[in-house]
Amino acid sequence: MIYNMFMEEFIKSHLVSQVVLRQFAVKTVVKTDDGKKKYKYETTVHNKETDATELCDVENVAYLKVAKKAIAELEQQWSHDIEKDTKSAINSIANNNWTDKHIGVVKDLMALHFIRSQAFALVGNNTKYIINILEARKNEVVAVYPEYTDIINQKYVEAIKTAPLEVAIDILKTYITKTKKYLADTSVGLEIGEAPDNAEFVIGDTPVITMTKAGDISVPITEAEYVAMPITPKYLVALKKNPDKRKPVKLTKQQVENANNKQKRLARTSYFSIPE
């Protein structure tokens, strides 16, 4: 019962940065209640299981409170405001004038999105196991101190709210250390894939795809042969050792479809596209 309640809330979350998701949205000007004007960004949300679509304000697509502690703590491992710098980096790629700083920002952006999705995967995979351990310990204590049953049950519920995230944080700190060391290697650069005029990238709620030569997916970045993430409907970025050049590589419509199929297949619940 408690596990189902936890997971029901947990699976509603999305992990894509607002600044990235806005690239997959249509911008309009709306008036606020006090008569002021502001920009509104709407994206098309595709339900992976039902194929249903709906138009959604990007501001309403955000990760859940239950994950904010884990995500905030993990993101403090980086020294600069990645999401703030991302807009400049995306513009530089579109204008084909990206610098080493822009490359560093995008590399970190990919790492952050991977860590976010791994945090959710670890919490999801470990929650039932952790709850079972906590429940067994609770029952042992209640058996010895039955007069404190209400207090013990209260502490048990409080522990369930934090324990899975704390376990995820501990595991991911090791991932972060290895990933930061790998990305600090200046030979690890970016290759930019550019979609043709008759195709566009979509982005899933687990946007960084990592894959080994053998086809194993969602492996740590340091173990992956293929690491890629769409950052606009026009451009996909991939980590690559010693990339040949900084000019975007022109992709075919089929290559874009292949990349989109990976986004759709590995999404947890949804993927997003520019509204038609």
Predicted confidence (pLDDT) per residue in 71-108, tens digit: 555 556 555 566 678 888 888 888 888 888 888 888 88
User: How far does the chain reach from its first CA to its final CA, in angstroms?
Assistant: 41
Place of tokens 């920009």: 39
What pLDDT was estimated at residue 162?
Answer: 64
Q: What is the pLDDT of residues 21-53, one digit of tens each?
A: 899 999 998 887 787 888 889 999 999 989 899
Number of domains in the chain: 1
List the beta strands (DSSP E) in 48-143: 53-57
Report the amino acid identity of residue 92.
S
pLDDT digits (tens, 9 = 90+) for 174-229: 777 788 888 888 888 899 999 999 999 999 988 999 999 888 888 888 888 999 99
Question: Which residue's entry shows tokens 């992990």?
Answer: 15
pTM of the model: 0.77
Scanning the structure block, which residue is given the tokens 């999401």? 83
Tell which wins on pLDDT, 10 or 261.
261
Give the integer Cα–Cα distance in Å for 197 and 125.
40
CB 38 within 8 A of CB 32: yes
C-beta separation of 21 from 203 below 8 A: yes
Q: How many helices (H) and strands (E) does the chain have?
A: 7, 10
Q: State the helix-helix crossing angle for 2-10 and 100-144, rounded to 10 degrees.
A: 170
Instruction: Quote the CA–CA distance of 136 and 124 in Å, as a whole number.
Output: 20
Contact between 269 and 64 (Cβ < 8 Å): no
Query: How many other CB atoms are there within 10 angstroms of residue 79's CB atom?
Result: 8
Domain that holds residue 65: 2-273
